[in-house]
Structure 1
């Protein structure tokens, strides 16, 4: 690791959110603050930083949760340097999440936590948010982002979550949403539009849909697409055409999703049923 490098991205699902990947060896961050919540992990090596007079070591399996306007610095833990992925989440977006969780104070109680499961979830989410195909997977990405941020604040927010009664989706509303997925299977759906159609916030809709169906909207839609793909394969249609018909980016994305769900590729399945 010899190059000092940092790259930045934005994603339209939260336009103000900043995403970055960095590789540092000698570069040191002087004492500084951020305007947003900075969530970060290292993918190679380790980083050390000072925060409120305490020293912290960020390594694999740990997640850094820095609140806005909290001074800290940063440098490599060893001579070999380190690589890091960072997500800068706007204050306004966090305010929506903590409001849904009934958390009155919006800050993390610790700047560093050992959380291997969230570490892995963060890396997967960061990779997908910075993918060239991100614009075509908005429902999946926003669902994943809300789930990740919600879990982060439920675990490490400074105030315990209290129960709060939520408006429930009616049977008719659930049926209408499902019908929309079936009828417009090839469309790109957005969480905002689905929630607005039933008079709920994105966060309320996501939770209520999962409560009613046992699945997130994205997971439900993905499975429906795969079921339609199986029917089309059984009719002898070309895999590349099916991918577009049922809403996958391309044939490779259909292949990957199909194998994850059914343990065989679409081509293998088609050979067995025709």
Structure 2
């Protein structure tokens, strides 16, 4: 018996599986596959080699590699599989191409963080899913680095380029600005945009845009604009979305803030 949860984070397909005794015949994929083993042991067959991946192991498969294996009959097994084209992964990380040099890495902490991101993929909140997509890109940079692929050095973006990024985000507050569009405008990959922006501000671009939305919402509410109109004007999904993020930032709902501000 097995339970499968399937989701997408941007261009990344994610399967979360809870099962016992599941095995796979020898097969291959067109995409890069990253397996995250959380519970149990997987007996892996990969290109005529055999090895065991226990809890905390991350397995890496290049497109076209023949793989197979699984857990012993009756043995509990929990794992996550991520699928992405080699071209997309390379573009997101600022690489000309990607090819894993290692097929097994034992990284329990990284595996745990990948599991948290995978869980966030099932959230009904669009912003939560987008933030987990950002986190996944950064984590995959770590995975690819551990696999033997050398990542490009950090771009010397500096405060001026991050300032330009903030200008672009501020101009598009009424809608979510995709990371790849922002990266193209600045000449940075998603990975280096996220790393550089976080280094300069302590936030991801989407987190920074959300704090600006809530800050501007505060001013509009103080001036008497209805919460529903504020939500629409600033690109919140709906009024409840505004309520959730406003309360998280300021400790009270927009309605309560308006009643206090009128005194």
The whole-number CA distance in structure 1 between the counterparts of 2:258 and 2:57 is 43
> Equivalent residue for 1:147?
138
2:64 is the alignment partner of 1:71: no
The whole-number CA distance in structure 1 between the counterparts of 2:166 and 2:94 is 28
2:123 is the alignment partner of 1:125: no
- CA spacing shift, 1:97–1:262, aligned 2, 3 Å: same
> Equivalent residue for 2:203?
215
Tell which deviates more after alignment, 178-187 or 24-33.
Answer: 24-33
The whole-number CA distance in structure 2 between the counterparts of 1:73 and 1:25 is 13
Aligned residues of 2:36 and 2:81 also touching (Cα < 8 A)? yes
Q: How does 1:232-271 map to 2 (within 5 A)?
A: 232-271=220-259
Shift of 1:174: 4.1
In structure 1, which of residues 1, 4, 7 is the aligned counterpart of residue 2 of structure 2?
A: 4
Question: Which secondary structure state, in structure 1, belongs to the residue aligned with residue 88 of structure 2?
Answer: helix
> Equivalent residue for 1:46?
40
Structure 2 unpaired stretches of 5+? none
2:155 is the alignment partner of 1:166: yes
Q: Deviations over 1:181-211 (max 9, x none)?
A: 3333212211222222234444444444444
TM-score by structure 2 length? 0.75
- CA spacing shift, 1:25–1:160, aligned 2, 3 Å: same
> Equivalent residue for 2:147?
157
Aligned residues of 1:191 and 1:202 also touching (Cα < 8 A)? yes
> Equivalent residue for 2:100?
107
> For the aligned residues, what is the CA RMSD?
3.6
Question: Which secondary structure state, in structure 2, belongs to the residue aligned with residue 86 of structure 1?
Answer: strand
Q: Deviations over 1:66-85 (max 9, x none)?
A: 22226341126855x44443
Q: Deviations over 1:125-147 (max 9, x none)?
A: 3244455655x778645432321
Aligned residues of 2:221 and 2:227 also touching (Cα < 8 A)? yes
Question: Which secondary structure state, in structure 2, belongs to the residue aligned with residue 149 of structure 1?
Answer: helix
Q: How does 1:183-202 map to 2 (within 5 A)?
A: 183-202=171-190
Shift of 1:225: 0.9
- CA spacing shift, 1:46–1:251, aligned 2, 3 Å: farther
Q: Deviations over 1:106-143 (max 9, x none)?
A: 32635242433x34432343244455655x77864543
TM-score by structure 1 length? 0.72
Shift of 1:20: 1.9
The whole-number CA distance in structure 2 between the counterparts of 1:26 and 1:214 is 44
The whole-number CA distance in structure 2 between the counterparts of 1:70 and 1:20 is 19
